[in-house]
Structure 1
Amino acid sequence: MKILLVDDHLLLAEALASAVAERMPQLRVQCATSLADAQAQLDAQTALVLLDLGLPDASGVEAVSRLREQAPQVRIVVMSANDRADTVRAAIEQGASGFVPKTADFRQLMQALRFTLEGGVALPAALLAQDVGAAAADGDDALATLPLDEQLTPRQCDVLRLLMLGQSNKLICRALGLSESSVKTHLEAVYRRLGVNSRTQAVVAAARQGFRLPLQLGDDPTGS
């Protein structure tokens, strides 16, 4: 498996790659300095992309959507100096699995990478602390105390996991063999359970509750 670090400052990318490789020796770490370079290096072994938004050949979160379109199952963690809530939400909407402000230290970055590789969604604490939705519509307090994957049906969990990977309704239909109306019905049920009304709010709410994606490329990608 490999991690792809995408930053147009080659010296910084190489220094970061060396530090990450030292702490995750079981993973190959490669660098790319543009979106085109990153797209050329994406392959079946790519587990995660750490993506800087300031690339010369992509405009902001556009890079996320283009990588997501090419590699639907790859986890993408955005790294940016612009950590406003609207930027973070835009990255999530385009399919990012995490967001690390450039003000973060290396320890925080490694925590985010490990958490994302383990199936989590790593988001800034300030965003996770926000009240992204009201209480679940059915008011079942007993149910709300259960882990999220026990509050939802297995199929609803499948839909939510694909939603957290940034997949469109059409791709979710294709992946699960469902009709578009069935996917919409499952999404509505997920939104109700989470007390939200949008895809981005659902991802944030699921992250707050510790809902994780299944491991797909090995049992222990972090070596921990």
Structure 2
Amino acid sequence: MSHPDYSLEQALHAQGHLRIAGVDEVGRGPIAGPVTAAAVILNPDAIPPGLNDSKKLTARRRETLDQLLRDSAEFAIAHASVAEIDEINILRASHLAMQRAVAALDPAPDFLLIDGNMIPAGLTLPSRAVIGGDARSVSISAASIMAKTRRDRMMVDLAQQHPGYGWERNAGYPTKSHKEALQNLGVTPHHRHSFKPVHNILYQEKYLSD
């Protein structure tokens, strides 16, 4: 099984790009909570071992790597809210979160490696979209890890305010128990109204009240 490495970054260094940020987002699939992005510039002399796509790592390993990255890398983490997701759609909201994370890096990077097949329209820096980037570039995998750990913590905090939906376990994804809780407990302010399981319940409630 292949692991991400620093070869994309090294090739860019050879072209004169010194501040290369990996950019990734998490949270496109959940029906609750924000979408979160991170932009990370690794220190080539202090790359934590074991970086990988955050989905391939245990929660404990992600937390360990997140702390190592906080100690060694430059990073910024940003979000797009549930209201923004419902207003402009999840793809554009995830791009907005990426733009915000990149904009928060100071000084700015001079090249971006972005996970996926699209470069967000609002990013004007030199960039490359890398399909499956979190399994190819350690900078992107670092962004994946930092975004996921931050978002997961946010969902644990929100779970304390809205118990019963299991957000501390499912991070807002539409698991069977989450959808059952949605039916039994109703829609919270942190649910995405434009997503089908939530939209259907809101429609049922409107239909019954009419």
Place the TM-score, normalised by the shorter chain, in its bin: under 0.3
Q: How does the TM-score come out when normalised to structure 1?
A: 0.22
Larger Rg: 2
Which protein has greater RCO, CA pairs closer than 8 Å, 6+ apart?
2
